[in-house]
Structure formats: structure tokens, C-alpha cells
Amino acid sequence: MNDMTPSPGFDVDRIRADFPILRQTVRGKPLVFLDSAASAQKPVAVIEAMKTAMETQYANVHRGLHWMSERTTEAYEAARDAVAALMNAPDRHEIVFVRNSTEALNLVAHSYGRHLLRPGQAVLISAMEHHSNIVPWLMLRDSHGIELRVAPISDAGELDMAAFEALLEDGKVGLVSITHMSNVLGTYTPAERIARIAHAHGAKVMFDGSQAIVHRAVDVQAIDADFYAWTGHKLYGPTGIGVLWARRELLERMPPFLGGGEMISSVSYERATWAAVPHKFEAGTPAILEGIGLKAAIDYVRAIGYPAIAAHEAALTEHALASLSAIEGLRILGAAQDRGGVVSFALDRAHAHDVATLLDRFGIAVRAGHHCAEPLMHRFGLESTARASFGVYTTQAEIDTLATALVRVREFFA
């Protein structure tokens, strides 16, 4: 666990004031929202950016020649610039807008996996993946003859790096696709080391950054990734928009994922030719308002600053681990040295769904289930857990409220 304290300039009360939804009560209790890993709440800046675009300048983008379309196109494409800057991407044309991380992973599985990987090659994932980073590769295995390999993890929830490298040694792995931060364990994987080992064995590397980019700065050049996926709604932005970053030379070689408008250069009844990247992968009318909202979310996060966010959430996580581990009969999954603001736990005598339902009576929102990581649950001998996850607006007092409520919940099942 990193020994970090929030920056003196980090004012969580001021930040909470930016999120109107946090002012309400639930079942007569102040809302304690601890489900940000599933989808974060939205600040006023995001809400107003989308509202203003709808009220003052909305039109379709890229193809219109009138003032409204030009203004909206500029605002939408500014989101691409914002994403490129956020990730330190070397080229804005390497930013492909998709609906979410799931679509990004499926895009890579289809366009890279089916067309640039050969039958008999392997895709290597880890034992802590979200279903979105398992199912597309199962589909690729069944349709294209790709082998799927799974790198094990330790009981602490950390990637077994020796086993990971051993799975690459025969040279058959064409792509490593791995989480940058587990949505269940909070574990950060050592991205730079993973990329270095994979590249040394001739494999490309994709990271599912759905959780990581929320909590820490991501520099795709420093990591030396080949693909990186994340989703807007976890980064305080709207649903319906996500990001795939990929090296331009790879995007140039990959065929389109979807066909239709926007992604073509020309069409006849005999053939079609494709638009330049990234538009080759952005068929149809895009999520225009969501793109504008995503830029506002990025601006908001960058104004706070990742160092301050990381310090705040590290302090929250340390406090949560100490508080919850003191509760009799409560088991916390994972004990990674490098972990983010996600704590999954099981309470003896109680099903996770019952725990979440009873916590809701205290105004506390947590997630319960297998968190779209069913194989990982089985790795720890469980069917489900409850999960508390933190954001920029989470306070230590809210974690204390959770701990107190969990003691009451356990008494209910005594």
C-alpha cells in the first residue's frame, strides 16, 4: 500500500459541491455512493457542457457545411484532442471513439485478431480479467482457431510474472490483452514490465484501462503499449462513449469493424474504399453530445490533477482496508501492494446481494455480484462479493459509515 496523503490543495468538500446528485438523501439517509467503479457520478461541468450543446449549437458533425454543424464538429473533435493529451498519444488520429471499453476490445479482437493473428497463435490474458476481456477472445478462439492462455495470479491478487513470461516463451503469443487495474481486486498490473516482456517475445500488448485511467495518469508512450481501451462513464463523463487508442501503423493495417456512413472514402455497387484513420473505425453518426461531455470530464479531472486524485484515493483505500478488516467475519479479496480505490469483500453468513440490499437501507450504494469477473470469483472460491469503490468525491466519513453499517448487517445474520 502506498503511503500517500491527499494534497493540501485537495478539498473534497469543494469537489462534492460539483456533483448535484450527492446532495440527496436515500431512504431518509444521506447518500453514500460507493459504486463509482461501475459508473461514476457526473459533475456540473459535464452536465452543463452537454446541455449547452443541445440548447445552442446541436447538429450532426463532419458532413455539414452550415454554422451549427461546424461549431458542433469543432466541439466534438476537441474531445479527440483532449483524449490524446490525456494519454500522451503521439497522434490524435490514433484515438478511435467507441461506445465503451467492451466495444474497443471487440474491435481489436475482430479487426486485429481475425485479420492479423494467424490460426494457431495465442492470446494471453490474466486470471483477473473482466468478461469484456475474456469473451471476445473465446469467440476468436472458436471462429479463428486462436489459442487462449491465462496467466495465473497469486493469493494476494497479483500477476504471477514468472508464469506470465513462461507462457510467452514458445513465441506463439501474438497478443497480450490484460487489465491495467482489476475492477474486483483493485490490483494495478506492472504495465511497463508487461509490455517489455511481451515485446521481447514478439507479442503486441493491449491494456484494458477502464479502471486505471480514473485513478492515475496513463502515458501510452511511457508504458509502450500497442492498444489501450477505456470508457468515459467511469471517468465522470457520460455513458455511450469510450476510447480505443492504438498505434497508427496497426490501425492502418486493420480492416474496419463496422460498415456504413462516415467510415468510407467511396462506395459503388462493386466496391467500397475506407476513410483514413480514425474515421475508418467510426461508422455512422457518433455519440456527439457524449463526446462533448467527455471533453468536459477530462478537463475537470485534469484541473484537479492526477497526483492529487491518486493521493486522495490511496488514503481512502488505506483507511477502508484498515476499517473493514477489523470487522469480524469480513474477508477482503486481494492484498496487492499496488492497488487502487476498489475493495471487494465477503461477509460470513450473508450473501453479497443481501449485504448490498441491507446497506441500501442505510443509504449506502455498493455493487454486489461477480462484477463481470466470474472466473476470478471462482479463483478465490466465491460466487459473489460486495464491492465498495471510490471516486474524487468519496470521504473517509463515508467509509466509516460503511464500516458501522456492516457491523449492523452482520448482527442481523447472527
User: Where in the sequence numbering do the catalytic residues fall?
Assistant: 372
Q: Any residues with CB less than 8 A from the CB of 321 and at least 6 apart, and which?
A: 1, 332, 343
Instruction: Tell which residue, 128, 32, 13, 21, has the closest CA to residue 389.
Output: 32
Q: CA-to-CA distance for 261 and 259, rounded, in angstroms?
A: 7
Q: CA-to-CA distance for 365 and 81, rounded, in angstroms?
A: 34
Between the alpha carbon of residue 280 and those of residues 70, 84, 273, 277, the distances in Å are: 21, 18, 9, 5
Enumerate the β-bridge partners of residue 30.
25
